[in-house]
Structure 1
Amino acid sequence: MGRKRKSGEGTVRLRKDGRWEGRIVIGYDEKGLPKTKNVLAKTKGECVEKLKTLKESISPPTPSKVRADMPFGEWLNHWYETYSKPSIRPRTQRTYEGYIRLYIKPRLGSIPLNKLTTNDIQQFCAWMKSDDHMGGGSIADSQIRNCYSLCHRALEKARAEHLVPRDPTDGCKLSPVRYEEMKILSREAMQKLLIQAKEENYYELFLLELATGLRLGEIAALQWDDLNLETGELRISKQAGTSGPDVVICEPKQKRQSVP
Protein backbone atom coordinates (compact mmCIF):
# COMPACT_ATOMS: atom_id res chain seq x y z
CA MET A 1 0.00 0.00 0.00
CA GLY A 2 1.45 3.40 -1.00
CA ARG A 3 1.99 5.98 1.73
CA LYS A 4 0.70 9.52 1.57
CA ARG A 5 3.34 11.87 0.23
CA LYS A 6 3.56 15.62 0.17
CA SER A 7 1.83 17.50 -2.64
CA GLY A 8 3.94 17.32 -5.80
CA GLU A 9 6.01 14.31 -4.71
CA GLY A 10 3.76 11.81 -6.45
CA THR A 11 2.74 8.39 -5.15
CA VAL A 12 4.70 5.18 -4.57
CA ARG A 13 3.00 1.79 -4.24
CA LEU A 14 3.84 -1.92 -4.31
CA ARG A 15 2.23 -3.70 -7.27
CA LYS A 16 0.82 -7.23 -7.22
CA ASP A 17 3.71 -8.42 -9.40
CA GLY A 18 6.19 -7.43 -6.66
CA ARG A 19 7.55 -4.34 -8.38
CA TRP A 20 7.31 -0.80 -7.01
CA GLU A 21 5.51 1.83 -9.07
CA GLY A 22 5.91 5.59 -8.76
CA ARG A 23 3.45 7.97 -10.39
CA ILE A 24 3.41 11.76 -10.68
CA VAL A 25 1.07 14.32 -12.24
CA ILE A 26 2.77 16.18 -15.10
CA GLY A 27 -0.09 18.45 -16.12
CA TYR A 28 -3.75 18.60 -17.03
CA ASP A 29 -5.63 18.18 -20.30
CA GLU A 30 -8.18 20.54 -21.80
CA LYS A 31 -10.91 19.04 -19.60
CA GLY A 32 -8.88 19.57 -16.43
CA LEU A 33 -8.12 15.86 -16.00
CA PRO A 34 -4.63 14.96 -14.70
CA LYS A 35 -1.97 13.56 -17.03
CA THR A 36 0.49 11.23 -15.30
CA LYS A 37 3.79 9.44 -15.89
CA ASN A 38 5.09 6.44 -13.97
CA VAL A 39 8.31 4.59 -13.18
CA LEU A 40 8.92 0.97 -12.13
CA ALA A 41 11.64 -0.46 -9.90
CA LYS A 42 12.53 -3.60 -7.92
CA THR A 43 12.89 -1.77 -4.59
CA LYS A 44 11.05 1.10 -2.94
CA GLY A 45 14.23 3.16 -2.56
CA GLU A 46 15.08 2.77 -6.23
CA CYS A 47 11.52 3.73 -7.15
CA VAL A 48 11.66 6.90 -5.05
CA GLU A 49 14.94 7.91 -6.72
CA LYS A 50 13.55 7.22 -10.20
CA LEU A 51 10.46 9.26 -9.39
CA LYS A 52 12.64 12.13 -8.18
CA THR A 53 14.66 12.03 -11.41
CA LEU A 54 11.47 11.97 -13.47
CA LYS A 55 10.09 14.97 -11.60
CA GLU A 56 13.29 16.96 -12.19
CA SER A 57 13.29 16.07 -15.90
CA ILE A 58 9.77 17.40 -16.47
CA SER A 59 9.99 20.53 -14.32
CA PRO A 60 9.12 23.59 -16.44
CA PRO A 61 12.25 25.39 -17.63
CA THR A 62 13.08 28.65 -15.94
CA PRO A 63 14.32 31.42 -18.23
CA SER A 64 18.12 31.55 -18.03
CA LYS A 65 17.82 35.30 -17.83
CA VAL A 66 14.70 37.38 -17.46
CA ARG A 67 14.53 40.25 -19.90
CA ALA A 68 12.30 43.24 -20.38
CA ASP A 69 11.49 42.13 -23.93
CA MET A 70 10.74 38.48 -23.12
CA PRO A 71 7.20 37.30 -24.04
CA PHE A 72 4.71 37.97 -21.28
CA GLY A 73 3.76 34.26 -21.34
CA GLU A 74 7.33 33.29 -20.42
CA TRP A 75 7.45 35.84 -17.61
CA LEU A 76 4.06 34.65 -16.36
CA ASN A 77 5.33 31.05 -16.24
CA HIS A 78 8.47 32.15 -14.39
CA TRP A 79 6.51 34.26 -11.88
CA TYR A 80 3.93 31.53 -11.26
CA GLU A 81 6.41 28.67 -10.77
CA THR A 82 8.81 30.77 -8.67
CA TYR A 83 6.64 33.08 -6.58
CA SER A 84 3.03 31.87 -6.62
CA LYS A 85 2.79 28.09 -6.93
CA PRO A 86 4.94 27.17 -3.89
CA SER A 87 2.59 29.00 -1.50
CA ILE A 88 -0.87 27.96 -2.74
CA ARG A 89 -3.00 24.84 -2.32
CA PRO A 90 -3.13 22.08 -4.97
CA ARG A 91 -6.71 22.90 -5.94
CA THR A 92 -5.82 26.57 -6.33
CA GLN A 93 -2.81 25.56 -8.42
CA ARG A 94 -5.07 23.69 -10.85
CA THR A 95 -7.42 26.67 -11.04
CA TYR A 96 -4.63 29.17 -11.72
CA GLU A 97 -2.96 26.89 -14.26
CA GLY A 98 -6.28 26.59 -16.08
CA TYR A 99 -6.68 30.37 -16.21
CA ILE A 100 -3.14 30.78 -17.53
CA ARG A 101 -3.41 27.99 -20.13
CA LEU A 102 -6.93 28.65 -21.41
CA TYR A 103 -7.24 32.43 -21.26
CA ILE A 104 -4.19 34.53 -20.42
CA LYS A 105 -1.46 32.98 -22.57
CA PRO A 106 -3.54 32.51 -25.75
CA ARG A 107 -4.47 36.20 -25.68
CA LEU A 108 -1.49 37.97 -24.09
CA GLY A 109 1.31 35.41 -23.99
CA SER A 110 3.15 36.46 -27.17
CA ILE A 111 3.28 40.19 -26.37
CA PRO A 112 6.72 41.37 -25.17
CA LEU A 113 6.65 42.10 -21.45
CA ASN A 114 7.76 45.71 -21.86
CA LYS A 115 5.25 46.30 -24.68
CA LEU A 116 2.16 45.17 -22.77
CA THR A 117 -0.25 48.09 -22.33
CA THR A 118 -3.27 48.95 -20.23
CA ASN A 119 -5.35 48.73 -23.39
CA ASP A 120 -4.12 45.16 -23.96
CA ILE A 121 -5.29 44.17 -20.48
CA GLN A 122 -8.60 46.02 -20.89
CA GLN A 123 -9.23 44.34 -24.26
CA PHE A 124 -8.36 40.99 -22.71
CA CYS A 125 -11.01 41.48 -20.00
CA ALA A 126 -13.55 42.53 -22.65
CA TRP A 127 -12.69 39.44 -24.71
CA MET A 128 -13.36 37.19 -21.72
CA LYS A 129 -16.69 38.91 -21.21
CA SER A 130 -17.67 38.28 -24.85
CA ASP A 131 -18.59 35.05 -26.65
CA ASP A 132 -15.46 35.07 -28.85
CA HIS A 133 -13.14 33.06 -26.62
CA MET A 134 -12.61 29.30 -26.81
CA GLY A 135 -15.78 27.49 -25.77
CA GLY A 136 -18.00 30.53 -26.20
CA GLY A 137 -20.30 31.96 -23.57
CA SER A 138 -19.55 34.75 -21.14
CA ILE A 139 -17.10 33.94 -18.36
CA ALA A 140 -18.18 34.74 -14.81
CA ASP A 141 -17.12 38.15 -13.49
CA SER A 142 -15.34 36.49 -10.57
CA GLN A 143 -13.20 34.42 -12.97
CA ILE A 144 -12.37 37.50 -15.03
CA ARG A 145 -11.21 39.20 -11.85
CA ASN A 146 -9.10 36.18 -10.96
CA CYS A 147 -7.38 36.29 -14.38
CA TYR A 148 -6.88 40.04 -14.00
CA SER A 149 -5.44 39.48 -10.53
CA LEU A 150 -2.91 36.94 -11.86
CA CYS A 151 -1.77 39.43 -14.50
CA HIS A 152 -1.61 42.21 -11.91
CA ARG A 153 0.52 40.22 -9.48
CA ALA A 154 2.89 39.02 -12.21
CA LEU A 155 3.29 42.55 -13.58
CA GLU A 156 3.76 44.07 -10.13
CA LYS A 157 6.68 41.68 -9.66
CA ALA A 158 8.04 42.66 -13.07
CA ARG A 159 7.86 46.31 -12.01
CA ALA A 160 9.63 45.51 -8.74
CA GLU A 161 12.37 43.79 -10.76
CA HIS A 162 12.68 46.94 -12.94
CA LEU A 163 11.63 45.03 -16.05
CA VAL A 164 8.74 47.42 -16.74
CA PRO A 165 8.37 51.07 -15.65
CA ARG A 166 4.77 50.63 -14.49
CA ASP A 167 2.11 47.98 -14.03
CA PRO A 168 -0.19 48.14 -17.11
CA THR A 169 -3.07 46.63 -15.13
CA ASP A 170 -3.36 49.97 -13.30
CA GLY A 171 -6.23 51.94 -14.76
CA CYS A 172 -8.24 48.95 -16.02
CA LYS A 173 -11.95 48.97 -15.23
CA LEU A 174 -13.71 45.74 -14.38
CA SER A 175 -17.39 44.95 -14.09
CA PRO A 176 -18.55 44.59 -10.48
CA VAL A 177 -18.98 41.03 -9.27
CA ARG A 178 -22.63 40.05 -8.95
CA TYR A 179 -23.22 37.78 -5.99
CA GLU A 180 -26.21 35.46 -5.99
CA GLU A 181 -28.34 35.30 -2.88
CA MET A 182 -27.43 32.30 -0.77
CA LYS A 183 -30.07 29.58 -0.80
CA ILE A 184 -30.60 27.45 2.29
CA LEU A 185 -32.56 24.25 2.75
CA SER A 186 -35.89 24.37 4.52
CA ARG A 187 -36.46 22.16 7.55
CA GLU A 188 -38.59 19.84 5.42
CA ALA A 189 -35.88 19.60 2.74
CA MET A 190 -33.26 18.77 5.37
CA GLN A 191 -35.46 16.01 6.77
CA LYS A 192 -35.90 14.50 3.31
CA LEU A 193 -32.14 14.70 2.72
CA LEU A 194 -31.36 12.93 5.99
CA ILE A 195 -33.93 10.20 5.31
CA GLN A 196 -32.34 9.52 1.92
CA ALA A 197 -28.83 9.70 3.40
CA LYS A 198 -29.79 7.14 6.04
CA GLU A 199 -30.94 4.70 3.36
CA GLU A 200 -27.54 5.04 1.65
CA ASN A 201 -25.48 4.85 4.88
CA TYR A 202 -24.42 8.51 4.76
CA TYR A 203 -26.65 9.75 7.58
CA GLU A 204 -23.87 10.69 10.02
CA LEU A 205 -21.91 12.52 7.34
CA PHE A 206 -24.82 14.71 6.25
CA LEU A 207 -26.03 15.27 9.81
CA LEU A 208 -22.58 16.54 10.76
CA GLU A 209 -22.49 18.81 7.72
CA LEU A 210 -25.96 20.26 8.38
CA ALA A 211 -25.28 20.73 12.09
CA THR A 212 -21.86 22.38 11.80
CA GLY A 213 -21.52 23.90 8.32
CA LEU A 214 -18.04 22.42 7.94
CA ARG A 215 -16.44 22.22 4.51
CA LEU A 216 -16.32 18.79 2.88
CA GLY A 217 -12.52 18.80 3.04
CA GLU A 218 -12.61 19.56 6.77
CA ILE A 219 -15.02 16.67 7.38
CA ALA A 220 -12.94 14.28 5.25
CA ALA A 221 -9.83 15.06 7.33
CA LEU A 222 -11.45 14.39 10.72
CA GLN A 223 -10.00 11.64 12.93
CA TRP A 224 -11.20 10.17 16.21
CA ASP A 225 -8.55 12.18 18.06
CA ASP A 226 -10.32 15.35 16.92
CA LEU A 227 -13.46 14.46 18.90
CA ASN A 228 -13.66 15.34 22.59
CA LEU A 229 -16.25 12.94 23.98
CA GLU A 230 -16.43 14.79 27.30
CA THR A 231 -17.27 18.22 25.87
CA GLY A 232 -18.82 17.08 22.59
CA GLU A 233 -16.52 19.38 20.60
CA LEU A 234 -14.68 18.76 17.33
CA ARG A 235 -11.19 20.16 16.78
CA ILE A 236 -10.75 21.44 13.22
CA SER A 237 -7.04 21.58 12.48
CA LYS A 238 -6.72 20.28 8.92
CA GLN A 239 -8.56 19.60 5.69
CA ALA A 240 -8.25 17.03 2.93
CA GLY A 241 -7.80 17.87 -0.72
CA THR A 242 -6.55 16.32 -3.93
CA SER A 243 -3.52 16.90 -6.11
CA GLY A 244 -4.22 14.85 -9.22
CA PRO A 245 -4.54 11.25 -7.95
CA ASP A 246 -2.96 12.14 -4.59
CA VAL A 247 -4.86 12.92 -1.39
CA VAL A 248 -3.13 15.68 0.57
CA ILE A 249 -3.76 16.98 4.08
CA CYS A 250 -3.22 20.67 4.75
CA GLU A 251 -4.31 23.44 7.10
CA PRO A 252 -7.94 24.60 6.82
CA LYS A 253 -8.74 27.87 5.08
CA GLN A 254 -10.04 29.33 8.31
CA LYS A 255 -8.13 28.96 11.56
CA ARG A 256 -10.95 27.20 13.39
CA GLN A 257 -10.26 25.84 16.85
CA SER A 258 -13.33 23.73 17.58
CA VAL A 259 -17.04 23.45 16.89
CA PRO A 260 -19.69 22.27 19.36
Structure 2
Amino acid sequence: MENIKLNKLTIREISIPQEAVDLLIQEHAKHPGNPWLFPSSCTGGMYHPDSVAALHQRILKDTGLGHLRFHDLRHTFAPLVLQNGVDIKTVSTMLGHYDVGFTLRTYTHTTRQKQDEAAQAMGNLLAQVR
Protein backbone atom coordinates (compact mmCIF):
# COMPACT_ATOMS: atom_id res chain seq x y z
CA MET A 1 0.00 0.00 0.00
CA GLU A 2 1.46 3.35 -0.94
CA ASN A 3 0.41 6.93 -0.37
CA ILE A 4 0.48 9.25 -3.36
CA LYS A 5 0.71 13.02 -2.83
CA LEU A 6 -1.46 14.98 -5.25
CA ASN A 7 -1.23 18.70 -4.50
CA LYS A 8 -2.46 18.85 -0.89
CA LEU A 9 -4.41 15.57 -1.11
CA THR A 10 -3.00 12.22 -0.09
CA ILE A 11 -4.48 9.31 -1.98
CA ARG A 12 -4.32 6.07 -0.01
CA GLU A 13 -4.57 2.78 -1.85
CA ILE A 14 -6.64 0.13 -0.09
CA SER A 15 -7.84 -3.34 -1.01
CA ILE A 16 -11.56 -3.89 -1.56
CA PRO A 17 -13.57 -6.98 -2.56
CA GLN A 18 -13.75 -7.79 -6.27
CA GLU A 19 -17.54 -7.40 -6.12
CA ALA A 20 -17.07 -3.77 -5.07
CA VAL A 21 -14.56 -3.22 -7.89
CA ASP A 22 -17.09 -4.62 -10.37
CA LEU A 23 -19.81 -2.27 -9.09
CA LEU A 24 -17.48 0.72 -9.29
CA ILE A 25 -16.54 -0.17 -12.87
CA GLN A 26 -20.25 -0.37 -13.78
CA GLU A 27 -20.87 3.01 -12.16
CA HIS A 28 -17.98 4.67 -13.97
CA ALA A 29 -19.21 3.28 -17.31
CA LYS A 30 -22.31 5.48 -16.89
CA HIS A 31 -20.21 8.58 -17.62
CA PRO A 32 -17.26 7.61 -19.85
CA GLY A 33 -14.65 10.26 -20.42
CA ASN A 34 -15.14 11.81 -16.97
CA PRO A 35 -12.22 11.12 -14.62
CA TRP A 36 -14.48 11.24 -11.53
CA LEU A 37 -16.24 8.08 -10.40
CA PHE A 38 -19.18 10.06 -8.99
CA PRO A 39 -19.15 13.41 -10.79
CA SER A 40 -21.26 16.27 -9.53
CA SER A 41 -24.56 16.47 -11.43
CA CYS A 42 -24.21 20.27 -11.36
CA THR A 43 -20.61 20.77 -12.48
CA GLY A 44 -19.45 17.38 -13.76
CA GLY A 45 -16.42 17.84 -11.51
CA MET A 46 -15.49 16.62 -8.09
CA TYR A 47 -18.07 16.97 -5.31
CA HIS A 48 -17.33 19.51 -2.61
CA PRO A 49 -16.97 17.78 0.81
CA ASP A 50 -20.05 19.64 2.11
CA SER A 51 -22.05 18.21 -0.79
CA VAL A 52 -20.96 14.67 0.13
CA ALA A 53 -22.10 15.24 3.72
CA ALA A 54 -25.45 16.60 2.53
CA LEU A 55 -25.92 13.63 0.19
CA HIS A 56 -25.11 11.27 3.06
CA GLN A 57 -27.78 12.91 5.23
CA ARG A 58 -30.31 12.72 2.38
CA ILE A 59 -29.63 8.98 1.97
CA LEU A 60 -30.11 8.44 5.70
CA LYS A 61 -33.39 10.36 5.65
CA ASP A 62 -34.67 8.55 2.53
CA THR A 63 -33.93 5.17 4.09
CA GLY A 64 -35.49 6.07 7.43
CA LEU A 65 -32.25 5.83 9.37
CA GLY A 66 -31.44 8.22 12.18
CA HIS A 67 -28.70 10.83 12.29
CA LEU A 68 -25.24 9.44 11.60
CA ARG A 69 -22.22 11.55 10.73
CA PHE A 70 -20.30 10.43 7.65
CA HIS A 71 -17.21 10.03 9.86
CA ASP A 72 -19.16 7.63 12.10
CA LEU A 73 -18.86 5.03 9.33
CA ARG A 74 -15.23 4.62 10.41
CA HIS A 75 -16.40 3.76 13.93
CA THR A 76 -18.58 1.03 12.47
CA PHE A 77 -15.95 -0.35 10.10
CA ALA A 78 -13.17 -1.05 12.61
CA PRO A 79 -15.13 -3.16 15.13
CA LEU A 80 -16.88 -5.11 12.36
CA VAL A 81 -13.70 -6.14 10.58
CA LEU A 82 -11.92 -6.88 13.86
CA GLN A 83 -14.83 -9.12 14.93
CA ASN A 84 -14.45 -10.93 11.63
CA GLY A 85 -10.80 -11.78 12.15
CA VAL A 86 -8.89 -8.93 10.48
CA ASP A 87 -5.78 -8.09 12.49
CA ILE A 88 -5.41 -4.69 14.14
CA LYS A 89 -2.33 -3.69 12.08
CA THR A 90 -4.23 -4.19 8.82
CA VAL A 91 -7.24 -2.24 10.12
CA SER A 92 -4.98 0.56 11.33
CA THR A 93 -3.29 0.78 7.93
CA MET A 94 -6.63 0.78 6.10
CA LEU A 95 -7.80 3.68 8.27
CA GLY A 96 -4.57 5.56 7.52
CA HIS A 97 -3.25 5.55 11.08
CA TYR A 98 0.45 5.68 11.85
CA ASP A 99 0.02 4.19 15.32
CA VAL A 100 -1.88 0.95 15.99
CA GLY A 101 -2.45 2.13 19.57
CA PHE A 102 -4.41 5.10 18.26
CA THR A 103 -6.66 2.74 16.31
CA LEU A 104 -7.25 0.60 19.37
CA ARG A 105 -8.02 3.59 21.60
CA THR A 106 -10.20 5.44 19.11
CA TYR A 107 -12.06 3.02 16.90
CA THR A 108 -12.46 -0.25 18.73
CA HIS A 109 -14.96 -0.87 21.43
CA THR A 110 -15.52 -3.92 23.56
CA THR A 111 -18.57 -5.74 22.34
CA ARG A 112 -20.80 -8.25 24.08
CA GLN A 113 -19.81 -10.79 21.41
CA LYS A 114 -16.11 -10.39 22.22
CA GLN A 115 -16.79 -10.59 25.95
CA ASP A 116 -18.75 -13.82 25.41
CA GLU A 117 -15.93 -15.24 23.28
CA ALA A 118 -13.39 -14.37 25.98
CA ALA A 119 -15.55 -16.05 28.64
CA GLN A 120 -15.87 -19.15 26.45
CA ALA A 121 -12.11 -19.25 25.87
CA MET A 122 -11.49 -18.99 29.62
CA GLY A 123 -14.06 -21.75 30.23
CA ASN A 124 -12.31 -23.99 27.70
CA LEU A 125 -8.96 -23.34 29.37
CA LEU A 126 -10.35 -24.15 32.81
CA ALA A 127 -11.96 -27.34 31.50
CA GLN A 128 -8.54 -28.51 30.25
CA VAL A 129 -6.88 -28.15 33.67
CA ARG A 130 -9.54 -30.02 35.65
Q: TM-score, normalised by structure 2?
A: 0.29
Which structure has more strand as a fraction of its residues? 1
Question: Which of the two has greater helix per residue?
Answer: 2
TM norm structure 1: 0.18
Bigger Cα Rg: 1
